[in-house]
Structure 1
Amino acid sequence: MSAELGLALVGTVELCLRFGIRLVELSRSIRGAHDEVDGLLLRLESIWNRTSVQLRFMSSVSAKLEEDYVKIQQRLLEKLTGTLSVVVAKLDSVVKVNAEGQESGTRAVKYAFLKNSISRTVQELREWQNEYDPTWFLVVLIHDSLVDATLENPQHSKGLGSGPVSIVSHLRGLLKGSTDDNIHVNLDGKDFDLRNTTALKYASTRVLSRGGDASERSFLIDTLSCSSYVDVGKAKRDSESLAKRLKVANPETFGLLRCQGLVKSKAVGANRLSAIHFVFRMPTQSPPTSLRAELLQEAPVSLTRVLHIAQCLAKSVSFIHVCDFVHKNIRPETIITVPDGNTSPSDAYLLGFDGFRSAYYQTTMEGDLAFERNLYRHPSRQGANVQEPYIMQHDIYALGVCLLEIGLWVSFVAYDDEDTPQMSGGLESDAVGQNFFRTPEMRLKLKEHFVALARERLPSRMGDKYTTVVVHCLTCLDLDNSNFSEGAITDEDGVVVGVRFIEKILLGLNEISM
């Protein structure tokens, strides 16, 4: 990276901090104008305090950032500077200055103006924070002693509790294996009676309700089968490692449900583990639904909700990468939607962790012949004998198929009366049958059909920006795709792919207005 880029980032951070300090000063000057305004000002300061910690940290490690990483940081910080400068100017205009030149209270302004202006700023800063967090947490993957030293600096870590630096430090410790012993994820099976789970329609996840009282917390259960050909020792280690990383996951920040822990079960009379069950906390008491079940209902859905689901899924994929894992099973059966109880769109969460593995662990190169799974796999990963090791780009491709499906709001998979999956007419191609993965030519034909379907059908429904995002996903492993193609980038720790994903997919979705 050029020294000029690094210096530019440091300069932008300093400018943001100056605006932020002024914002806090003004906020304290106008306290007392009204109880509701005071509440908003406290929220404003809280958001800024979190942001300032992240910015100071990023400035400290800027010399160790990849060029692409610096550029996306610069892009987001320039956006923040614009937001801060506008609100500072507005608050400056209402602050009253006494005869001694000291700021105290507010001028005679309409209360509604003050409240609306601060409320809008709080919302804008929250939205900015949601965009910024994925780039911030990529710091976890940078293998450099300066990052570790900066994390240990009391200036960044003192009194932060569960703040952003604390979470990054925790995740880095897990990736290096230095904090594993301090986190316990093994649960007592007696406290989680898995015989009481109920199936979630068209989903790999089951629901566990504890007690008959509606106020009792419910959980979602993902099961990793330890069949005879599974390396139980590795499955156990990987499951515990993933559970520890997901234990700190904030659903709002990570787009992933918080993992309560693991329940391990054995067959009657056997010593060998038969299954490992991930226990996830339900974000609300509202009943969840699988995305597949929703797609099959064919009920009208707003474009706003489609976009919200797409943004949730993209965030989930980004943070799985930060956790140093690949999912390997992204499809509507492994995605649940949960209403949040008010008028905003329901949230979507990626589950189905029954095929995951560490991003850098040697893959088994094994697949299967289930068409409903192969449908979401890149051509190089379809069939029983796959051609390429699994990497993050394969998850990006699977995300692209899902984004195409929800963008069109049709189901690519149907189920008969016995709940057996079959090819749906939603694919709109007579040339694509259930044996599409039998030959390399047929596999490629399906991918080309997806790309054509996106370019022909999505613009009129979701717009050009959404279409571009989907095509980026579907072509991420094409040799002429310089954004993601493994042959086009050098990426020892996965940061560059993560940055490109955020830039082209996450921010691409966030920039869409409905």
Structure 2
Amino acid sequence: MTAELALAIIGVIDLALKYGKELRKICSSLKGAESEIQERSIRLDNGCYRCIAQLQFLKQVQHILDDGHRELQERTLRVLIEKLTSAKSVLRSLVSTQVSTSECGSSRVVFIPKAVKYAFRKDRLDEAIEALETWQRLSDPSWFLIFKISDPRIEEVLKMKGSLPPSSRSSITSIRAPWTTDESAATSIQGLVLPSEALEKMSISEVPYSCCSLAQNKTSGKASSYVLESIKLQHHELYQHTKKDVRNLAMRLQHDEPQTFGLLACKGFVAERPDPERGTPARFTLVLRTPSQLVKPRSLRHLLLNSQPESLSHKLRAAQELAKAVAYVHVFGFVHKGIRPESILSFESEQKSGETSLFLVGFEDFRQEYGQTKRLGDDVAERNLYRHPSRQGASPSSDFVMQHDIYSLGVCLLEIGLWQSFIEYDRGGLHPKISPVLGQPETDKA
């Protein structure tokens, strides 16, 4: 670590903290403003609170980061300062300053809301809030990467009271969950391994053009909705190894921020051993929770085939959410191996008409980043389309690495950008085939 980098990032952190704290003071002074401005100030205050908590934590652990990670954090924080400066400029136009002197003679600056027409400031305030929230979404992956560092000093800071906002605790715990390596660990995780009877109590329906199913479970008069993912084994001898991977994945999906990660939270999983007498293979079923206030799950394939995006910004947001989800799969230490529109779910917001959120699912072929691999593949054209050339066919020529997921992501992003499906289905939703939009290879003429 160079001394110049260490001093630079500390200075940037201190400046961002100064602006963030000042913004929170102004937000607090707007409690008496009209409701629309007050709602916006609360939204901005919440964002600042999270930023300040992260900055204070980063200041205590920045010396642990390698130079590359520290430089990335510094550049990211300089962008944050620009967003905070813009938001501060808008908020300062809504208040006036006044010096208040206490009985002991000390003075401080307080902010007083102006009697102005807030309607002229709402658009600018919305832009400032959206810019700050966009920065938060884009910077989160580098922030959460800090918690992959195996260093006792990070654990010491995490144990300090108030070191992080409560909303991030479960997510950080998920990232730092220890990797289980033996069967005995399965019984030590309360509620993670579900009985097979749990699936029998659910009403299950298919999600069109998707590798997932939707399940409804009614207990005590309350209905719960889940997304089910089936993970089948091609070889029985991989049962214990795959169970370990599924267990580790389920542990890391024990978070409370599905929209932060673009990954659904996991209730648990069902493990079914192979039955040679019946001829049934081993199977694992992930039981994922549907996010609150999000409804109508549809696959990205279904959207590409049956709808049109509302705007260019709609496509851009979908692309950003998908890229973010892939990044977090890698942050959690896994390779996905099956990124395609059938493994991406879109949910609609109950509160905001027209707003949707994308989530990456389809972990049927996943494994740990450095886990065992047998280079198993297939010759299915509609799957090979999303695979890197070295990973196509029944016997891929290379081991799967994270960069191969990036290749698959790129194909999906191209579909989103063009908003055209590269795969077509018949009217029954079966028999997928390559779309003519990709063109047909020329055949040699006799």
Contact kept, 8 Å, 1:257 with 1:349, in 2: the verdict is yes
User: Alignment partner of 1:109: what SS?
Assistant: coil
* Distance in 2, Cα, partners of 1:232 & 1:319: 26
Contact kept, 8 Å, 2:322 with 2:360, in 1: the verdict is yes
Tell me the residue number matched to 1:149. Answer: 156
Tell me the residue number matched to 1:73. Answer: 73
Tell me the residue number matched to 2:361. Answer: 351
Classify 1:207/1:89 alpha carbon distance in 2 versus 1 (closer, same or farther; 3 Å).
closer
Tell me the residue number matched to 2:205. Answer: 198
Q: Provide, for residues 143-164 of structure 1, a one-character-per-residue CA deviation record: whole Å limited to 9, x for no partner.
A: 333333333334515xx43x33
Contact kept, 8 Å, 2:174 with 2:254, in 1: the verdict is no
Contact kept, 8 Å, 1:325 with 1:357, in 2: the verdict is yes
Classify 1:36/1:343 alpha carbon distance in 2 versus 1 (closer, same or farther; 3 Å).
closer
* Distance in 2, Cα, partners of 1:96 & 1:51: 25
Tell me the residue number matched to 1:28. Answer: 28
Matched, 1:379 2:389: yes
Pairs within 5 Å for 1:119-138: 119-138=126-145
Pairs within 5 Å for 1:287-298: 287-297=296-306
Contact kept, 8 Å, 2:298 with 2:346, in 1: the verdict is yes
Classify 1:112/1:246 alpha carbon distance in 2 versus 1 (closer, same or farther; 3 Å).
same
Classify 1:240/1:271 alpha carbon distance in 2 versus 1 (closer, same or farther; 3 Å).
farther
Pairs within 5 Å for 1:445-456: none
Matched, 1:53 2:53: yes
Contact kept, 8 Å, 2:262 with 2:359, in 1: the verdict is yes
Contact kept, 8 Å, 1:335 with 1:350, in 2: the verdict is yes
Classify 1:67/1:375 alpha carbon distance in 2 versus 1 (closer, same or farther; 3 Å).
same
* Distance in 2, Cα, partners of 1:423 & 1:230: 34
Higher strand share goes to which structure?
Answer: 2
Pairs within 5 Å for 1:394-433: 394-416=404-426, 419-431=430-442
Matched, 1:275 2:275: no
Tell me which amino acid in the other structure corresponds to 1:359. E
Tell me the residue number matched to 2:317. Answer: 308
Tell me which amino acid in the other structure corresponds to 2:23. L
Classify 1:344/1:16 alpha carbon distance in 2 versus 1 (closer, same or farther; 3 Å).
farther
Tell me the CA shift for residue 217 of structure 1.
2.6
Matched, 1:334 2:338: no
* Distance in 1, Cα, partners of 2:132 & 2:70: 21
* Distance in 1, Cα, partners of 2:403 & 2:391: 11
* Distance in 1, Cα, partners of 2:313 & 2:334: 30
Tell me the residue number matched to 1:95. Answer: 96
Q: TM-score, normalised by structure 1?
A: 0.75
Contact kept, 8 Å, 1:19 with 1:85, in 2: the verdict is yes
Tell me the CA shift for residue 403 of structure 1.
1.0
In structure 2, the gaps of 5 or more residues are 102-106
User: Alignment partner of 2:58: what SS?
Assistant: helix
Contact kept, 8 Å, 2:309 with 2:315, in 1: the verdict is no
User: Alignment partner of 2:43: what SS?
Assistant: helix
Tell me the residue number matched to 2:241. Answer: 234
Q: Equivalent of 2:260, from 230, 253, 258?
A: 253
Alignment length (residue pairs):
430
In structure 1, the gaps of 5 or more residues are 433-514
Tell me the residue number matched to 1:443. Answer: none
Contact kept, 8 Å, 1:226 with 1:275, in 2: the verdict is yes
Classify 1:134/1:212 alpha carbon distance in 2 versus 1 (closer, same or farther; 3 Å).
same
Tell me which amino acid in the other structure corresponds to 2:160. N
* Distance in 2, Cα, partners of 1:194 & 1:274: 20
Classify 1:428/1:262 alpha carbon distance in 2 versus 1 (closer, same or farther; 3 Å).
same
Classify 1:282/1:30 alpha carbon distance in 2 versus 1 (closer, same or farther; 3 Å).
closer
Contact kept, 8 Å, 1:217 with 1:285, in 2: the verdict is no
Tell me the residue number matched to 1:244. Answer: 251
RMSD (Å), alpha carbons:
3.2
Tell me the residue number matched to 1:364. Answer: 374
Tell me which amino acid in the other structure corresponds to 1:324. G
Contact kept, 8 Å, 1:376 with 1:398, in 2: the verdict is yes
* Distance in 2, Cα, partners of 1:230 & 1:292: 34
Tell me which amino acid in the other structure corresponds to 1:348. L
Tell me the CA shift for residue 204 of structure 1.
1.1
Matched, 1:185 2:192: yes
User: Alignment partner of 1:173: what SS?
Assistant: coil
Contact kept, 8 Å, 1:367 with 1:383, in 2: the verdict is yes
Tell me the residue number matched to 2:178. Answer: 174
Tell me which amino acid in the other structure corresponds to 1:286. V
